Amino acid sequence: MSVKHALLALLYQRPMHGYELGRRVAGEGPVTVPFLADRDMTFASIWRNDMDENKEYSVRIGAKPLGDRLDVGLSGSVSKLSALDMAFLANTAKLVAPTETDRTKIRNGLDFMFKPTKHSVLQAEYYAGITSTFTASAFQVLAGYTFTKAGKPYVSVYARYGEVNPDRPADPLNSYTWKLSQTVLSAVWRFTPGAQLQLEYEMNREKDAGTDAAGTAVKAVNDVVFLELAFFY
């Protein structure tokens, strides 16, 4: 094995301001399912500086045993939840009691990217988090392939599957406790230089959202079909 393809270990560590705890949603339009996120996207349509004043320390250790074809890494971060974070957890997400004083925020993860061929890619990541007394895990996997024409990318197809799994019983009245899954199928057609058309289908499912008074499993109808025409200059 050449030096170029030998195991390459990278240690990356930095202090930074932690992001403001908040929510993201599965689905779009009239029916959405909010879930807890490390970066609030409540006002995603406008520029927002959503960093709090608490320092967050993060580290990632990575390796490239096959050069640029394979990248694997372990990551972690630790910080302290702000007063706004605690208020969000108690009053909006209703995941902790209003009197809770535990401000622990820890994230640990594993990720990799593998390129089996020049035109294909596989990616996956897994994360577990402690947010005060609330714990949860999440993962996603993605596979993609690009077809070429005259040696240039022409059509790319992707498939992605992910889950969010809170570590507590699901409350049908509180989506922040629901176990969610999402499957995405996407195709990108570069039909002319400087322009592309993307078609995407997002299938959102509730693995466990509890049951209603009649004993029926709670479900939300929030699948999304997305079509975008983009121009590049």
* Confidence at residue 51, expressed as pLDDT on a 0 to 100 scale: 60
| Helices within 43-146 (DSSP H only) | 83-87
Torsion of CA 21, 61, 163, 226, to 10 degrees: 80
* Confidence at residue 209, expressed as pLDDT on a 0 to 100 scale: 92
Output the 3-class SS for 118-182: CCEEEEEEEEEEEECCEEEEEEEEEEEEEEEECCEEEEEEEEEEEEEEECCCCECCEHHHCEEEE
Query: Which parts of the chain sit beneath pLDDT 50?
Result: 1-9, 45-47
* Confidence at residue 3, expressed as pLDDT on a 0 to 100 scale: 38
Domain coordinates in residue numbering, the chain = 9-231
- pTM for the model stands at 0.86
Angle at Cα 133 formed by Cα 127 and Cα 134, nearest 5°?
45
Note the pLDDT tens digit of each residue in 113-154. Answer: 999 999 999 999 999 999 999 999 999 999 999 999 999 999
* Confidence at residue 9, expressed as pLDDT on a 0 to 100 scale: 46
Q: Select the CATH number that applies to the domain covering 9-231 from these four: 1.10.3470, 3.40.50, 2.40.160, 1.10.10.
A: 2.40.160
